[in-house]
């Protein structure tokens, strides 16, 4: 019987390879089956820990330590002797899955339901090993095995329906919440628009708009006046500089001489000012005086 257990273990490893190919490489919706099959590997090692064939070379497997917390319960015994029945059930499930639905032409006619059936077979393998471990640990016998199987079936059917219902409720709540958020955002935007229009109309009524325009105009006028005064001061400084340089040259050399040439920047500034249109000067009219008397 040990060889049969080893053969089923090899078959379980092959099923893991098949699920890896279908779920990861072929991108089929069988990731749940892949998770269940990967979970079945350590569960199989836990249940058939006493049939580990490499005790002399590699030592004991010691996978039963994973279920040691069950010893806290009354009647638990993790050193139970494994039975061949779980291996027979798992062998039947894996053979049906790997031969009928993976190699035979019936797979083409059942392509639409193949993915959920594969996930169901993987889940059946894992639940079979969980139930076998519980029944053997607490020594419930075949009656306990039947009860555990019925409970797992009810849980599977109930959980599937419950998850579907919960998912529908969750989707409906998310949609309702999204609609509520949109309405709140639209209401807030409407209030902001109304407040801005009211403030704008109030500013127009109180004359705040014209007041702001006058302040802006005064500011621009002050800036232009400051620039004009600054240009006038610069021009006067340049003229004073030129006169001072010419006076010093005359004092040092004696006699009238031509003024020293100005720097290029100063000459360019004076030339720009000389080419600017001059402001006409209006002279007051002089009234003619009385003519002298002729004798």
> Rounded distance, CA 137 to CA 43, Å?
13
What pLDDT does 181 receive? 92
pLDDT in tens, 248-259: 888 887 655 445
> Rounded distance, CA 33 to CA 39, Å?
10
Tokens of 167: 């998912």
Closest CA to 129 of 46, 57, 186: 46
pLDDT in tens, 153-168: 777 766 666 677 778 8
Helix, strand, or coil here: 219?
helix
Domain residue extents for the chain: 2-139
Question: What rounded mean pLDDT belongs to the chain?
Answer: 76
For residue 151, the 8-state DSSP code is H
Task: State the pTM of this model.
Answer: 0.49
The answer to whether 150 and 136 are in contact (CB under 8 A) is: no
pLDDT in tens, 111-132: 566 677 777 778 888 888 888 8
Closest CA to 260 of 271, 272, 244: 244
> Rounded distance, CA 9 to CA 15, Å?
10
**Class of residue 121 by CB neighbours under 10 A (exposed 0-12, middle 13-18, buried 19+):** buried
Per-residue burial over 174-184, b if 16 or more Cβ lie within 10 Å, else e, is eeeeeeeeeee
How many other CB atoms sit within 10 Å of the CB of residue 70? 16
Residues (pLDDT < 70) of the chain are 1, 55-59, 100-114, 157-162, 202-212, 254-295
Place of tokens 């169901």: 120
HEC string of 78-133 equals CCCCCCCHHHHHHHHHHHHHHHHCCCCCHHHHCHHHHHHHHHHHHHHHHHHHHHHH
């Amino acid at each position: 019987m040990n060889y049969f257990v080893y053969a089923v273990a090899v078959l379980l490893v092959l099923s893991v390879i098949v699920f890896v190919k279908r779920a990861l490489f072929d991108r089929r919706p069988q990731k749940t089956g892949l998770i269940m099959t990967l979970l079945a590997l350590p569960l199989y090692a836990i249940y058939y820990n006493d049939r580990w064939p490499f005790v002399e070379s590699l030592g004991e497997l010691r996978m039963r330590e994973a279920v040691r917390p069950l010893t806290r319960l009354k009647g638990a015994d993790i050193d139970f002797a494994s039975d061949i029945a779980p291996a027979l059930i798992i062998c039947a499930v894996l053979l049906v899955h790997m031969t009928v639905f993976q190699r035979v032409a019936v797979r083409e006619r059942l392509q639409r339901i193949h993915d959920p059936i594969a996930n169901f077979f993987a889940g059946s393998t894992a639940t079979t090993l969980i139930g076998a471990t519980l029944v053997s640990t607490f020594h419930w016998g075949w009656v306990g095995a039947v009860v555990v199987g019925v409970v797992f079936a009810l849980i599977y059917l109930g959980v599937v329906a419950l998850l579907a219902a919960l998912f529908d409720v969750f989707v409906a709540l998310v949609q309702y919440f999204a609609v509520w958020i949109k309405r709140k955002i639209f209401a807030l935007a409407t209030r902001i628009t109304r407040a801005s229009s009211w403030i704008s109309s109030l500013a127009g009524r109180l004359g705040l708009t014209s007041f702001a325009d006058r302040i802006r105009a005064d500011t621009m006028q002050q800036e232009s006046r400051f620039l004009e005064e600054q240009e006038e001061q610069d021009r006067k400084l340049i003229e004073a500089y030129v006169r001072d340089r010419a006076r010093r040259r005359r004092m040092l050399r004696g006699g009238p001489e031509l003024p020293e040439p100005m720097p290029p920047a100063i000459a360019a500034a004076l030339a720009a000012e000389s080419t600017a249109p001059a402001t006409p000067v209006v002279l007051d009219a002089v009234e003619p005086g009385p003519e002298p008397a002729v004798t």
